[in-house]
Amino acid sequence: MSLSGCFHSDDDDDPAPVPDADPVGYYINTGDVQGGSIAVNDLQAMVYEGRIMMMSVEGKLLYDGTITSIRGNSFSADFTIYRRGGDINAAPPVTATATGIITTGSSITGTLNGSSIGSGIFTLLYDVTASSTVAVLPRIENVGGANTSWEGKTGGSPASQEFIVDVDGVLMELDFSGGGVFAGCELDGTLAPISDSSLYSVSVEMTGCHSSLSDGIYTGLATSRTDATEDDTLVFSVSNGLYGMAGDFK
């Protein structure tokens, strides 16, 4: 695919260049991400059409970014960073900018220019094993057996919220009985395969939440880690501008 038209040019003599870098796909960090007051060792990222979403399950962090320019292999991005999105005591999101280098089909490196969790250096390696085009059905755990959906939980047990994704990519609420900003929510949405990638686009609506600020449309990206393995892990990240939900779900 081409990302032409998604980014603005830094070169006045070439108002509509085709970027050299095409970062679409799933990426994993190659080591600790040292930044501000934290070190992240489980960073995962998904990139498509200028949106770069990085998350840490262990750190309960979601970095929702927009690539604002590409010149050659250099890029700039704006990030909103969410902490503990399912916690009623979650800190408000923070913002940061980033600059870095994209090596197509290989890696993304960047520097976050902000404070605290919005400051640091990250290196992400393109995951070749997750690069194949796939449908939703083969990825569902235990295909042909008793399980016909992914089950997702966000929050700690027993205060957890559950949802499922069925074989048609329909995402729905099971039991949002736990505490936090998503308590009481009803969730409806879809995962739609993105052509020529292993990614899915995600759009879900939250309604009836404990905190009315949690209601609204959440968008993002999803994938799973291999192109053939059943009972695999679904990597899922969405945000609505105030809150984010992200995690590894089975």
SS3 90: coil
- CA dist., res. 17 & res. 1, Å (int): 15
pLDDT of res. 6: 26
Residue-averaged pLDDT of the chain: 75
Query: Could you identify the residue written with the tokens 């704006």?
Result: 78
Give residue 22's Cα distance to chain centre.
17
What does the alpha-carbon distance between residue 19 and residue 103 come to, in Å, rounded to a whole number? 12
**Taking residues 84-106, what's their average pLDDT?**
82
Separation CA 150–CA 164 (nearest Å): 5
The overall pTM is greater than 0.85: no
Q: Is residue 189 part of a domain?
A: yes
Both 115 and 141 in one domain: the answer is: no
* Structural domain ending residue among the three candidates 128, 158, 175: 128
More confident residue, 9 or 193: 193
Q: Is the pLDDT of residue 213 over 70?
A: yes
Position 17 confidence tier, pLDDT thresholds 50, 70, 90: very low
Q: Are strands 170-176 and 161-166 parallel, antiparallel or unpaired?
A: antiparallel
Mark whether 100 and 142 lie in a shared domain: no
Q: Which domain holds residue 196?
A: 137-249
- Residue 57 counted as domain residue: yes
Please state which of the ranges 16-30, 42-56, 76-90, 234-248 shows the lowest mean pLDDT: 16-30
pLDDT at 238: 93
Q: Which carries the bigger pLDDT value, residue 207 or residue 143?
A: 207
Higher local confidence (pLDDT), 78 or 191: 78
**Could you give the angle at the alpha carbon of 81 between the alpha carbons of 130 and 160, nearest 5°?**
75
Indicate whether 10 belongs to any domain: no
Q: What is the pLDDT of residue 247?
A: 80
With a cut of 70, say whether residue 170 has pLDDT above it.
yes
Q: Could you tell me the pLDDT band of residue 128, with boundaries at 50, 70 and 90?
A: confident
Q: What is the pLDDT of residue 177?
A: 58
What is the rounded CA–CA span in Å between residue 138 and residue 151? 15
Domain co-membership, 89 together with 158: no
Give residue 60's pLDDT band: very low, low, confident or very high (50, 70, 90).
confident
| Co-location of 44 and 110 in the same domain | yes
